[in-house]
Structure 1
Amino acid sequence: MKHELTVGITTHGRRCEWLRDMLNGLYYFTQAEFKVIIVDNLSEDNTLDYLGKLAEIKNIEIIKNKENVDDTRGMNQILSVVDSKYLLKIDSDTLFTQKAPVDAILKQMEDTRVSLIGPYWDLSLRRRKEIVEWGHSSGMKNKFDQADQLVKTINSHFEVTTRLPRGNFMLMQVADIRKVGCFDVRYLHNAMEYSLAMRLLEAGLDYAEFLDESVIHRPSDDIRLRARAQLPDLLGEKL
Structure 2
Amino acid sequence: MNKYELTIVIVNWNTRQLVLDCLDSIYSNYTSDDWNVVVVDNNSHDNSADTFEKEYPNIEVVRNNDNVGFAAANNQILKRDDSDYYLLLNSDTYVIGDVLKKSLDYIKSNESFGVMGCRVLNSDKSVQYTCSKFPTLSSKVEQVFQFTKLFGGKYKSDELMTNWHRDSEREVDVVTGCYLLIRNIVIQQVGVLDEDFFFFGEETDWCYRIKKAGWKIQFSPVGEIVHYGSFSAQKLSYKRDLMLSGAIVRFFLKNRTKTEAVLVYAVMFCFNVSRALVWTIKYVFNRKIFSKQRASLFLNCVLRYHKAWPTNKKGW
- The TM-score with structure 1 as length reference comes to 0.72
Q: Which is richer in helix? A: 2
8 Å contact 2:134–2:204 — kept in the other structure? Answer: no
Displacement after TM superposition at 1:213 (Å) = 5.6
Is 1:21 the equivalent of 2:21? yes
Aligned positions of 1:143-182 closer than 5 A: 157-159=155-157, 161=159, 163-182=173-192
Distance 2:181 2:215 in 1: 14
The equivalent residue for 1:80 is 79
Distance 2:221 2:52 in 1: 30
Structure 1 letter corresponding to 2:117 = G
Structure number with the bigger relative contact order (C-alpha 8 A, sep ≥ 6) is 1
Distance 1:182 1:168 in 2: 16
Structure 2 letter corresponding to 1:106 = L
SS in 2 for 1:210: strand
8 Å contact 1:124–1:160 — kept in the other structure? Answer: no
8 Å contact 2:40–2:61 — kept in the other structure? Answer: yes
Distance 1:55 1:25 in 2: 12
- The TM-score with structure 2 as length reference comes to 0.55
Q: Which of 91, 108, 111 does residue 110 from structure 1 map onto?
A: 108
Alignment CA distance shift 1:101-1:69 (3 Å):
same
8 Å contact 1:32–1:103 — kept in the other structure? Answer: no
Distance 2:79 2:55 in 1: 23
Distance 2:228 2:28 in 1: 19
Displacement after TM superposition at 1:156 (Å) = 6.7
> Radius of gyration: which is bigger?
2
Distance 2:186 2:31 in 1: 25
Displacement after TM superposition at 1:8 (Å) = 0.8
Structure 2 letter corresponding to 1:62 = V
Gaps of 5+ in 1: 130-154, 220-239
Displacement after TM superposition at 1:123 (Å) = 4.8
Displacement after TM superposition at 1:52 (Å) = 1.9
Deviations for 1:42-68, whole angstroms, at most 9, x for unmatched residues?
Answer: 111121111221453x1x222211110
Distance 2:73 2:12 in 1: 9
Is 1:50 the equivalent of 2:37? no
8 Å contact 1:8–1:78 — kept in the other structure? Answer: yes
8 Å contact 2:102–2:223 — kept in the other structure? Answer: no
Distance 2:20 2:55 in 1: 10
SS in 1 for 2:198: coil
Deviations for 1:10-65, whole angstroms, at most 9, x for unmatched residues?
Answer: 111x2110000000001111233311122110111121111221453x1x222211
Distance 1:53 1:177 in 2: 32
Identity of aligned residues (%): 24
Alignment CA distance shift 1:82-1:30 (3 Å):
farther
Aligned positions of 1:111-150 closer than 5 A: 111-113=109-111, 114-119=113-118, 120-123=130-133, 125=135, 126=137
Distance 1:189 1:78 in 2: 17
Task: Give the root-mean-square deviation of aligned CA atoms.
Answer: 2.4
SS in 2 for 1:19: helix
Number of equivalent positions: 190
Question: Structure 1 runs of 4+ off > 3 angstroms?
Answer: 126-129
The equivalent residue for 2:37 is 36
8 Å contact 1:118–1:208 — kept in the other structure? Answer: yes
